[in-house]
């Protein structure tokens, strides 16, 4: 199988000038530090409420940095990778804190972390092999993988559904089913990505 790239005559999705410091990356840094500090304090104080605040700061900040980057036209591959890495850090801080405060949820949490921090992370940084600015534009490379992982519904399910159901219901088995389903979906996505083939840069003379 080979990817059938979508035509992009106006260069709306392609690589542009790269720089580390943009308004979006500043927002990413601030929300990452704020959420991590709140999560650490929440665990120290054994406060589930404060841990939820840390999660909300992470989610709101994650939406804000992406929105700012698009509106201000400062999307960069550096910013995308930084966002992906910071997402994992904030998610780990929250979920490890939740496992500490509610250890009965640990089986579901650790399956989710395996999915999100390993397989989903690999999928998310795979965009770097193509000349697009972020995973948000992976439909240029392969629409099914994009639909399953970075369309708005896919993002909502992958990021929010698991956490919300765990917090609202406290049912470990429900969380475990969702985390396992996400793990299967990510493995299917990874299999499709491997079949498509990741471009290998040419050798340097």
pLDDT given at position 204: 43
User: 129 to each of 36, 165, 189, how far by Cα in Å?
Assistant: 30, 35, 16
Query: Per-block average pLDDT, block size 10, for the chain (205 residues)?
Result: 48 66 93 98 97 97 92 90 97 97 97 97 96 93 96 90 92 95 97 92 52
Q: Which residues pair with 112 in a beta bridge?
A: none
In the chain, domain spans: 19-101, 103-198
H-type alpha helices, 5-105: 23-45, 48-71, 77-101
pLDDT given at position 189: 98
| Angle between the N-to-C axes of helices 77-101 and 106-114, in degrees from 0 to 180, rounded to the nearest 10 | 160
Return phi, psi of residue 20, to 5°. -80, -45
pTM for this model (two decimals): 0.88
User: 85 to each of 16, 81, 90, how far by Cα in Å?
Assistant: 21, 6, 9
Question: How far is it, in rounded angstroms, from Cα 116 to Cα 91?
Answer: 9
pLDDT given at position 20: 77
- Taking only the tens place, the pLDDT of each residue in 107-134 is 999 999 999 999 999 999 999 999 999 9
pLDDT given at position 205: 43
Asked if 160 contacts 59 with a C-beta cutoff of 8 angstroms, the reply is yes
Q: Name the 3-class secondary structure at 56.
A: helix
């Amino acid at each position: 199988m080979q990817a059938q790239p979508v035509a992009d005559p106006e260069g709306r999705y392609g690589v542009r000038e790269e720089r580390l410091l943009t308004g979006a990356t500043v927002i990413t840094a601030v929300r990452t530090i704020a959420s991590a500090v709140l999560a650490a304090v929440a665990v120290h104080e054994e406060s589930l409420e404060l841990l939820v605040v840390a999660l909300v700061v992470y989610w709101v900040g994650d939406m804000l940095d992406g929105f700012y980057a698009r509106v201000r036209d400062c999307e960069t591959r550096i910013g995308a990778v930084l966002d992906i890495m910071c997402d994992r850090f904030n998610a780990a801080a929250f979920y490890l804190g939740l496992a500490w405060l509610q250890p009965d949820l640990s089986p579901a949490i650790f399956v989710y972390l395996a999915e999100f921090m390993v397989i989903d992370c690999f999928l998310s940084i795979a965009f770097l092999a193509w000349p697009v600015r972020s995973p948000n534009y992976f439909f240029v490379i392969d629409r099914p993988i994009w639909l399953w992982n970075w369309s708005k519904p896919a993002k909502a399910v992958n990021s929010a559904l698991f956490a919300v159901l765990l917090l609202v219901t406290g049912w470990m088995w429900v969380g475990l089913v969702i985390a396992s389903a996400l793990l299967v979906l990510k493995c299917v996505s990874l299999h499709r990505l491997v079949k498509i083939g990741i471009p290998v840069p040419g050798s340097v003379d």
